[in-house]
Amino acid sequence: MHGTESPSPWVCRWTHLIAPGGTALDVACGAGRHLRWLHSQGIRVAGVDRSSEALAACAGLGELVCADIEGGPWPFASRQFDAVVVTNYLWRPLLPILIQSLAPGGVLIYETFALGNETVGRPARPEFLLAPGELLQVSAGLRVVAYEDGFEEEPARFVQRITAVRELPHAQGPQRHLLPARTR
């Protein structure tokens, strides 16, 4: 079942940007691999998925909403979160709503498949693959802290990732978004 594997290293790497005790929304959360990770870091979590079976595996972690976010209304209308996390999911009509769902100071952590993936596996249909630079375009107006677009060998896949922050309005001086320490 989707969501039972380890959390994404990209999500883990950037979790520190989420306000301590803040709220995070995991979109298309599956069985909750990121809900579990975020919850373990002291973050209050909400997850949305269309599978009630997958959500059942997340019981007790936080707010869980079973909804068809592609065919129905957005279940979090007018709500904002300190983080929005999306991995291995793309529904372009939802992208502006996800950006609007970020509270001031909130962080978008997004990772999914990119064009080229059709040469190595699934997903292979263009509607499920990001075009070069697409997450940068979607995040216009946010402060991009990190971005990657390329090929990984293990497992073989083309991916695009972004971490971007809705900066606080009227902040005094530059806002500091701490980069993780590098490991060698």
Q: Say how many domains are in the chain.
A: 1
Residue 57 is assigned to a structural domain of this protein: yes
In a domain, 15, yes or no: yes
Domain that holds residue 61: 9-165
- Cα–Cα dist 60/76, whole Å: 19
Predicted confidence (pLDDT) at residue 1 exceeds the cutoff of 70: no
Tell me the CATH number at 91. Answer: 3.40.50.150
Map tokens 């068809």 to a residue: 68
Asked, for residue 51, whether it belongs to a domain, the answer is yes
Question: 57 vs 2, which has greater pLDDT?
Answer: 57
The pLDDT-based confidence of 166 (bands split at 50, 70, 90) is: very high
Predicted confidence at residue 184, as pLDDT, reads 47
Does 181 fall in a domain? no
Please check the confidence at residue 121 and state whether its pLDDT lies above 60.
Answer: yes
Q: Is residue 144 part of a domain?
A: yes
Does residue 182 sit within a domain? no
What pTM was computed for the model? 0.93
Q: Which two tokens stand for residue 129?
A: 């693959």
pLDDT category of residue 173 using cuts at 50, 70 and 90: low
Question: pLDDT digits over 50-95, tens only?
Answer: 999 999 999 999 999 999 999 999 999 999 999 999 999 999 999 9
| Residue 142, in any domain of the structure | yes
- What's the average model confidence in pLDDT over 164-183? 76
Residues 13-41 pLDDT 10s: 999 999 989 999 999 999 999 999 999 99
